[in-house]
Amino acid sequence: MSQQNFLKSTFHSIYVVFLIIFISSCASPSKPQKAPKQVSTKPIETKTESTKYDLDYFLNQAQATVGDDSIDNLLLAVNLLLTDSDFKKALWLANHVQSIAEQPQHIYQSQLYQAQSLLALGQIELSSQQLKNANETVKAHDLNHQISFYQLSYQVHSLQNNQVLALAAKLQLLATKSEPSEADVVSTWKDISELTNWQLAQLVKLNPPMIKGWSQLSGYARRFGGNQAQLRRYLRQWQTQHPDHTAQLISQSILEAEPLLPPSADNIAVLLPLTGNQKQAGLAAQHGILAALSAVPEKQVTFYDANTLDWSTLSTKLSENETDFIIGPLLRNNVKSFLEIPDLTIPSLLLNVLPEIDLKAHQVALSMRPEDEAVQAATVLSQQNYQHPIILVHQDSVSLRIANTFASEWQRQTGKLPEVAYFEKGTSMQDSLKNSLELKQSQDRVDDLNIRIKQTIKTDIRNRRDIDMIYIVGSPVQTKLLKPYIDVSISPFANVIPVYASSRSHSLRINPRDARDLNGLTFTEMPWLLASKQQNKALAKKAQQLFPKRSDSLQRIFAMGYDAFNVTDILYLMKAQPYVRHYGQTGILRLNDNNILTRSILWGRYQKTRVQEIVMDR
Q: 454-486: per-residue pLDDT in tens?
A: 444 343 334 445 688 999 999 998 898 888 888
Task: Give the H/E segment covering residue 561.
Answer: helix 552-567
Is 437 exposed, middle or buried, given 0-12, 13-18 or 19+ CB atoms closer than 10 A? buried
Is the model more confident about 301 or about 439?
A: 301
3-class DSSP assignment, residue 597: strand
Q: Which of 235, 190, 556 is nearest to 398 (CA)?
A: 556
Structure confidence at residue 512 (pLDDT): 74
Beta-carbon count within 10 A of 48 CB = 17
Is the model more confident about 541 or about 263?
A: 541
Structure confidence at residue 356 (pLDDT): 79
Out of 324-338, 383-397, 604-618, least confident range:
604-618
Structure confidence at residue 515 (pLDDT): 80
Out of 489-498, 508-517, 563-572, 603-612, least confident range:
489-498
What confidence tier does 22 reach under pLDDT thresholds 50, 70, 90?
Answer: low
- CB neighbour burial string for 245-275, b if at least 16 within 10 angstroms, e if fewer: bbbbebbeebeeeeeeeeeebeebbbbbbbe
Q: Which of 162, 223, 214 is nearest to 188 (CA)?
A: 214
> How many Cα atoms occupy the beta-carbon half-sphere of 614 within 13 Å?
14
Please say if the pLDDT value at position 60 is more than 50.
Answer: yes
Judge whether 3-160 and 267-366+554-583 match in fold. Answer: no
Structure confidence at residue 63 (pLDDT): 85
What confidence tier does 500 reach under pLDDT thresholds 50, 70, 90?
Answer: very high
Mean pLDDT of the chain: 85
Beta-carbon count within 10 A of 1 CB = 8
Is the model more confident about 8 or about 541?
A: 541
Structure confidence at residue 449 (pLDDT): 36
Residues 6 or more apart from 611 whose CB is under 8 A from it? 506, 515, 530, 531, 604, 605
Structure confidence at residue 204 (pLDDT): 95
Between helix 67-83 and helix 104-120 the angle, nearest 10°, is 20
The third-level CATH classification (topology) of the domain covering 371-526+602-614 is Rossmann fold (3.40.50)
Is the model more confident about 229 or about 216?
A: 216
Is the model more confident about 150 or about 25?
A: 150
What confidence tier does 7 reach under pLDDT thresholds 50, 70, 90?
Answer: very low
Which of 48-57, 555-564, 570-579 is most confident? 555-564
Evaluated on CA atoms 301, 305, 311, 317, the torsion sign reads: negative
In CATH, the architecture of 3-160 is Alpha Horseshoe (1.25)
Q: What percent of the chain has pLDDT over 70?
A: 83
From residue 78, give the alpha-carbon distance in Å to each of 14, 28, 122, 457.
Answer: 19, 15, 18, 64
Please say if the pLDDT value at position 158 is more than 60.
Answer: yes
Structure confidence at residue 37 (pLDDT): 35
Q: Give the pLDDT mean for 163-184.
A: 95
Q: Give the pLDDT mean for 93-107.
A: 93
Q: Give the pLDDT mean for 277-293.
A: 97
Evaluated on CA atoms 424, 427, 429, 432, the torsion sign reads: negative
Q: Give the pLDDT mean for 589-597.
A: 95
Out of 105-109, 128-132, 151-155, 421-425, least confident range:
421-425
Q: Give CA–CA dist 611/478, Å, rounded.
A: 18
**What are the tens digits of pLDDT across the range 288-324?**
999 999 999 899 999 999 999 999 999 999 999 999 9
Please say if the pLDDT value at position 448 is more than 80.
Answer: no
Is 49 exposed, middle or buried, given 0-12, 13-18 or 19+ CB atoms closer than 10 A? middle
Q: Give CA–CA dist 430/15, Å, rounded.
A: 59
Q: Give CA–CA dist 432/441, Å, rounded.
A: 13
- State whether CATH 3.40.50.2300 applies to domain 267-366+554-583: yes
Structure confidence at residue 40 (pLDDT): 35
Q: Give CA–CA dist 546/45, Å, rounded.
A: 65
- CB neighbour burial string for 108-127, b if at least 16 within 10 angstroms, e if fewer: bbbbbbbbbbbbbeebeebb
Judge whether 498 and 384 are in contact, CB under 8 Å: no
Beta-carbon count within 10 A of 69 CB = 13
* Range list of β-strands (E), 370-456: 389-394, 419-423
- Domain boundaries of the chain, sorted by first residue: 3-160, 195-256, 267-366+554-583, 371-526+602-614
Please say if the pLDDT value at position 491 is more than 60.
Answer: no
Please say if the pLDDT value at position 254 is more than 80.
Answer: yes
| Beta strand pairing call for 348-350 and 389-394 | unpaired
Structure confidence at residue 31 (pLDDT): 39
What confidence tier does 183 reach under pLDDT thresholds 50, 70, 90?
Answer: very high
Give counts: helices (H), strands (E), the chain.
Answer: 25, 15
Residues 6 or more apart from 262 whose CB is under 8 A from it? 569, 570, 572, 573
